[in-house]
Amino acid sequence: MCGLAGLADLGGIDRADARARMRRALDRLAPRGPDGEGMWDDAHCLLGHRRLAIVDLSPAGAQPMLRGGAALVFNGMIYNYRALRAELAGLGHRFESDSDTEVLLAGWRQWRQALLPKLDGMFAFALWDPARRELVLARDRFGKKPLVYCRNGARLAFASDLAAAEQLAGAGAIDPAAIRWLFTLRYIPEPLTALQGFAKLPPGHCAVLSPGGFAVERWYDLAAAARPRFESEEQAAVALRARVEAAVADRLVADVPVGAFLSGGIDSAIVVAAMRKAASRVRTYTVGFEGVPDYYEERPAAKQVADFLGTEHTEIAVSAGEALGAIEKVFDGLDEPFADSSAIPTYLVAQATRRHVTVALSGDGGDEVFGGYRKYQGELLAERYRAVPAPLRRNLIEPLARLLPEGKHHPLLEKARRLRRFVAHAGGDAAVRQAGWMRLLPADELDALLGPAPAAPTLEARVEALRGAARDADAVNQMLFADLALGLPGDMLTKADRMSMANSLEVRCPFLDHRVVEAAAAMPGAWKLKRGEGKAILRRAFADALPAAVFQRPKKGFEVPIALWLKGPLRSLVETALEPGTLAAHGIAAAAPRRWLAELDGGRRDTSERLWTLIAFTQWAARRGAAPAAATPGAAA
């Protein structure tokens, strides 16, 4: 796990200027790679790298790495690099290190783009071939590792995060279209970034800059990937367990200490059970928050799993003051506005875990792959709800639901919140329902907050297109495909990468091994999602590996009491975000945020996510000294 950056210009670079820019970019990327730094350049390309040493800790594994006339910078881990190395050695390649970086270089020289499907791992890399005057960027299948670029003709700047890319390419103007997406989803979906002229390379894509031009191409498509055939649910459960256990074992390869995040949920418990099978020593880490409602406490449930499996378990108690004190560091670690408040506990558990290990396995991806979120249960109930006559829904049920108070600090208020969200969207068709359950703000509130929408595809249209890519799948699988393509890279993996890298911790996700995801995609939705039971096939596969209580606990998010904090110790953040000059500078109407605050204070409506999104945007803008949004939206292409 590292940080990379680079600048290529087919017309030639000013090497002194480029190196000065690279110095600033690498300073930004320093937390991603505290173990080393390197630069390399020629007349047309400059590559920079910050290293977090995981395999082959010697200088032989340093980057940028040069072999056979090509130069490479790489972020991630190739779990099957030793098997690929043996294959390449049989084809005549010679190696000077035991690093996966060198295997990538040799593999590209041997197979070029045909290398990418051979890779089992998480990666983002840039390879410069001086003989061809060709720069190649590539990103892993599901977007575990980030890669941002900015192209201007034959000039291309790129980096592991937007702030570093901006140091190389020059300052960009805020993109109003991207900010609209932020207030729609709480994050900015790919390929957009917060800045005009900058783009994220989408998962499963590669980009090539050469004298022939610039092209971005998809190299992996889950909907088109070859998938196994299962004759029965029992056969699928047996095969799934074997695939998950193999994925966990692969992710234990490291020359540094490895541990695991352990919450009270199913996913991390299964990962740790598989680790316990593969290794004699397993270290697990759980964070708990003092002085918050029991809803947010996971330490007792995690300890039960740790005791059952016999792990070396560490509980990290975080006071409310410590959690609040980390918020500035959370914002510092974000390269663009990101409003999932679970970034706070993610940062804290990564910070605490890094004191003991350099690599941690997590259960990330399990919900998106196997249907674990509550909204999937809502999808099963939507058919019954739609059987209620539409006039009765519109004129009685939905207006009454909107009157209910809501909040996460009391079980009844939390149930009311879920009910309000369900009835607001369950009456629509499949794509409208899915988009509704993703949405933060409906279109009319967006217009009131930010002005009329630019001519662009709506969230509903985007979800419909993603579902349509899996048109041969059943309705549940179409929903999962859309979430894997949109929410997983934009929200879950962004949060995990930025918060772990802010603490120089590598996080590995066995549930996102492509063989696991493809196996799950081959199963009927009914095997994964049953009424009252998400991730059913995963539960069945590991039923004898964990205490029964693990599978009986209700679904909980990894959250902090953000609504309570915004009414109390974080009040100053709210007030700063609502300053009239701040809002006016970014074209944000003040009426809606003021109403959100009044509703939160009055306890009638939990508007904390709306307010937190506004805070996330204004905090990011303040950190970069951002100029107001530009008039014309756009992103690099």
231-263, pLDDT tens digit by residue?
A: 999 999 999 999 999 999 999 999 999 999 998
Contacts of residue 556, defined as CB under 8 A and 6 or more positions apart, other chains included, come to: 264, 265, 295, 298
Mean pLDDT across 130-158: 97
Tell me the sheet residues that pair with 419: none
Residue 242 has a pLDDT of 97
183-232, pLDDT tens digit by residue?
A: 999 999 999 999 999 999 999 999 999 999 999 999 999 998 978 899 99
Cis bond upstream, residue 405 (ω within 30): no
Domain spans in the chain, listed from the N-terminal domain onward: 2-220, 224-329+341-371+489-552, 562-623
Residue 390's alpha-carbon distances to 171, 396, 474, 611, in angstroms, are 51, 10, 25, 33
Sheet of strand 312-318, all strands in order from the earlier edge strand to the far edge: 312-318, 283-289, 258-261, 359-361, 506-508
| 202 C-beta neighbours (distance < 10 Å), count | 17
Of these ranges, 80-94, 303-317, 395-409, 430-444, the one predicted with the greatest mean pLDDT is 80-94
Query: Is 288 a residue whose pLDDT tops 60?
Result: yes
Identify the residue whose tokens are 């009765």. Answer: 392
pTM beyond cutoff 0.85: yes
Mean pLDDT across 453-468: 89
Q: Is 509 a catalytic residue?
A: no
Query: Is 635 a residue whose pLDDT tops 50?
Result: no
CA angle 541, 544, 545 (to 5 degrees): 85
Contact by Cβ (8 Å): 414, 157: no
Of these ranges, 85-89, 348-352, 565-569, the one predicted with the greatest mean pLDDT is 85-89
462-471, pLDDT tens digit by residue?
A: 999 999 988 8
Active-site residue, from 2, 45, 150, 509: 2
Query: Is 634 a residue whose pLDDT tops 60?
Result: no
Mean pLDDT across 620-626: 85
Question: What DSSP state is assigned to residue 426?
Answer: T
Average pLDDT, the chain: 91
Query: Is 632 a residue whose pLDDT tops 50?
Result: no
411-433, pLDDT tens digit by residue?
A: 666 676 777 777 777 777 889 99
Confidence of residue 528 (pLDDT cuts 50, 70, 90): very high
Residue 331's alpha-carbon distances to 50, 158, 379, 396, in angstroms, are 21, 22, 34, 42
From CA 293, how far away is CA 560, in angstroms rounded? Answer: 9
CATH code of the domain occupying 224-329+341-371+489-552: 3.40.50.620
Confidence of residue 409 (pLDDT cuts 50, 70, 90): low
Residue 627 has a pLDDT of 47
CATH code of the domain occupying 2-220: 3.60.20.10
59-82, pLDDT tens digit by residue?
A: 999 999 999 899 999 999 999 999
320-377, pLDDT tens digit by residue?
A: 788 888 999 999 999 999 999 999 989 999 999 999 999 999 999 999 999 998 888 8
Residue 500 has a pLDDT of 97
Query: Is 292 a residue whose pLDDT tops 70?
Result: no
From CA 351, how far away is CA 363, in angstroms rounded? Answer: 17
Do strands 2-9 and 155-159 pair parallel, antiparallel, or not at all (unpaired)? antiparallel
